[in-house]
A and B are shown apart, each in its own frame.
Chain A
């Protein structure tokens, strides 16, 4: 058995201390050790983006990251987007604009969109599509997702 290492980090605003093996994937750590199952496993190769989380504000694929690398970092998962348990404006836009169907890719798209909107308050369609290129959706044809992000950017940052 591989020795475990103690890590300290912040997840969704809460301090977390855990003992992890050096090879523990961040996606498995979040899902299996912390029961944060909103983060999904879709490809295990960093292509589909369903496992995306924010690490110190930047979108990161948790299936390509090790838990041990997160020592001292601040993470946001999909569970951390809600405001007092209610959907955030971005989440609301995904719900209302057809930004989700089966919902499996949705957490990843929400994280990618959060990252984009934090850097660019009113992105145009081409910028949105380019910034979603690390995430796959098989249901929506991306149209509802693009519409949702446009809608959210308008509601969050005005016209």
Chain B
């Protein structure tokens, strides 16, 4: 038995170079003659650029070039809304927007030159508050107005369903923007090589989407751009296609015809966006007395900042994904995405799911209380089940949600803790829970969700895997290696996954939508099995026996019927080359899941599988200081099958702590659109001593569409944290915080209001 077979905890295949400090990130790369770039950013939320005088900057010794919006391609780039340029042209729309770039012999010189650029702005009135965006006299962010996107979805007869409900509850929730907080700020090295090709090494979650965007923004043919992914220091959605610095670096290299490295400082990285989309969600739900949800009505106002990016897709998720978690028949959703003169917001781990998970789970606990039902029971009663078709047409091939609920209920001692008397002292404890679902894959990105694996079996029997699915730390290369080693019968150490490179590795969408395990994992099984058949056929020929009698174990081909028939893999692989005119074993396999593009009404089975998670937490609230301390956290994730439990637990724990940060301590502070805490001292992410032990457990629902039963893991796990904490705070002190983050100030104000109400 392979020690690292699928299902067994497996150290990351990249762990040694990372532990040795030898993994190479984009900012570690150097090329002879490399220049360094620094960016000048707008200090205004909205202004017209009247004049940019770069003469003194260019005159500084060591400066090689200075570029402004006048120098960049006129073609606008963007996801669906084409509205950005490499550097801002004519108008700036948020504080931090890049208006000029300096290229110099070193970073210090480039930085010094920034101070010598004189920009004349005409400040214009700015729209900062999204609630004002659709007012008739609001300042326009773009000529077409401030409505970036609008979604309306109606299923069933919502009004009649509300009329039949025994309990109707309505509340408004607000969620704030979270910084991805990857430890590696964006970094890119780009170069030309005299051949007309632009090569870009950048911290990305998707080399092909990065290439597409570079080609568009630089207005050049796709194939003249090559994107390579070095080791990436975390992404969390922020390194998909919305960050702008890799585009600027590519432009600078092309424009100077020299290698240029652009490493953002942390402050630069935080001024750039794109953070998660802040939303205001009004939620109304109807329920029968015995806990059956009858109707759901949602309205959403989301703020994408100055440019739309992926925010329309994010908002769509908020508007409808959570409906699929329950057996609903009547839902209505209306969502509006507005522009403001603030930094762009967009993709973030959970992709719009965290916002709605907060509203829905806060709501369900409140409604459970109104009905006198245990909230876990309410979830259990309404949960969608394996084999169901959801209200939006999602085919639920596996659903471990009931088991997730059982696990967290038992683990935290739910029943016992809920029945303890309410505490009256200064420190009060409470428990809360939440549940959520996520997609594993998503067909809506161009009606394709495929993944291709190329396997090369070398003459020594070792395997090279070519894929463009990006391991950004989550461990996908390890998952692919485990499957490959297992299917082929070679040790894990004989498999090596190459770095994504648009010129050499096959087209893939990359690490988005929790799609890599389910789609690339399937492609890997296909490729490895085909390679195995090829090897066995060659071995049968060489050994003079039937391929069907042969097996490969630990790098040796062995007959199951005759012990004398065996050969080491290198012998067979060399034999294959010699017997096939020099052809090595070179297998290509693609898997495109049997899913459908959603229709115009957002109906359709977009993913091959759906993941579920539930979390229970205990908190302690200090009623004098308003501080909330997490005491315990139990998270259960239904990832279908944990191919690498070590990675799944790691992802769950990391997601849980990222959720704690969003809920309790991370808050971007803006003044007139200006980020006031754009550094890690003032934007406080959780530290090791600020969180308790994280408990993670796994439910294996064995999805019929998943490789070995596996679905995506990691995004689902970030969804339930915030509402679980909010529900626990309510349990502890009887006040419900509906606007994130849950700060001491809000707790104290809520306690004071509660007291005033009681005394009145």
Contacts and interface: CB of A to CB of B under 8 A. Distances in A.
Contacts of A45: 266, 679-681
A48 B19 contact: no
B655 A138 contact: no
B12 A101 contact: yes
A44 B21 CA distance: 19
Contacts of A95: 11-12, 15-16, 18-19
Contact of A43 (B180, B266, B647): B266
B474 interface: yes
Contact of B11 (A44, A96, A140): A96
Contacts of B30: 35
A47 B183 contact: no
A103 interface: yes
A104 to B, nearest CB: 3
A130 interface: yes
Contacts of B24: 37
A31 to B, nearest CB: 8
Interface string A12-39: 0000000000000000000100010111
B233 interface: yes
B20 A38 contact: yes
A138 B27 contact: no
B687 interface: yes
Interface stretch (A3-11, A54-62, A66-74, A141-149): A141-149
A159 B180 CA distance: 39
Given A101-B474, A102-B183, A140-B654, A107 B688 contact: no
What DSSP secondary structure best describes chain A's contact surface? loop
Nearest to A1: B61
Contact of B473 (A91, A96, A110, A139): A139
A95 B11 CA distance: 6
Contact of A143 (B266, B653, B685, B689): B653
Interface residues of B, number: 61
B738 interface: no
B182 A102 contact: yes
B181 interface: yes
A48 B680 CA distance: 7
Contacts of B473: 101-104, 139
B184 A104 contact: yes
A106 B267 CA distance: 21
Given A78-B20, A87-B16, A102-B234, A136 B691 contact: no
Contact of B233 (A96, A103, A145): A103
Contacts of B694: 141-143
B15 A104 contact: no
Interface in B139-185: 180-185
B182 to A, nearest CB: 6
Contact of B687 (A78, A91, A110, A133): A133
B687 A42 contact: no
A139 B473 CA distance: 8
Given A42-B266, A47-B679, A143-B653, A104 B12 contact: no
A118 interface: no
A103 B685 contact: no
Contact of B181 (A79, A96, A138): A138
B21 A78 contact: yes
A91 B15 CA distance: 9
Nearest to A50: B183
A122 interface: no
A37 B231 CA distance: 13
A117 interface: no
Contact of B689 (A77, A100, A105, A130): A130
A102 B24 CA distance: 11
B421 to A, nearest CB: 29
A37 B681 contact: no
A156 interface: no
From A94, A139, A141, A146, residue with most partner B Cβ within 10 Å: A141
A136 B179 CA distance: 14
Contacts of A38: 20-22
Contact of B472 (A37, A102, A130): A102
From B20, B263, B266, B473, residue with most partner A Cβ within 10 Å: B20
B25 interface: yes
A87 B694 CA distance: 27
Given A42-B184, A47-B680, A141-B654, A146 B688 contact: yes
A90 B175 CA distance: 40
B657 interface: yes
B693 interface: yes
Nearest to B471: A102
Contacts of A35: 30
A139 B263 CA distance: 21
A139 B650 contact: yes
A132 B650 contact: no
A39 B231 CA distance: 15
Interface string B679-722: 11100010111110110100000000000000000000000000
From A82, A106, A130, residue with most partner B Cβ within 10 Å: A106
A14 B266 CA distance: 32
Contacts of A143: 649-650, 653, 693-694, 696
Contacts of B649: 98, 143-144
B68 interface: no
From B18, B182, B185, residue with most partner A Cβ within 10 Å: B18
B526 to A, nearest CB: 27
Contacts of B647: 98, 101
Contact of B183 (A37, A42, A77, A142): A42
Contacts of A87: 16, 19-20
A136 B687 contact: yes
A107 B28 CA distance: 14
B28 A37 contact: yes
Nearest to B685: A136
From B11, B236, B647, B690, residue with most partner A Cβ within 10 Å: B11
A40 B21 CA distance: 9
Contacts of A110: 19, 21
Contacts of B558: none
Nearest to A106: B18
Nearest to A92: B19
B19 A106 contact: yes
Interface string B254-281: 0000000001011100000000000000
Interface of B: 9, 11-12, 14-25, 27-28, 30, 180-185, 231-234, 236, 263, 265-267, 472-475, 646-647, 649-658, 679-681, 685, 687-691, 693-694, 696
18 contacts: A37-B25, A45-B266, A45-B679, A78-B20, A95-B11, A100-B18, A103-B17, A105-B233, A128-B688, A130-B689, A132-B688, A133-B689, A135-B687, A137-B183, A141-B655, A141-B691, A142-B653, A144-B650
The 4 closest A-B pairs by CB, nearest first: A38-B21, A102-B473, A103-B18, A104-B233
Given A42-B183, A101-B234, A103-B17, 18 more contacts: A43-B266, A45-B266, A82-B20, A91-B20, A102-B183, A104-B183, A104-B233, A104-B234, A105-B233, A106-B21, A136-B680, A138-B658, A139-B234, A139-B473, A139-B650, A141-B653, A141-B691, A142-B694
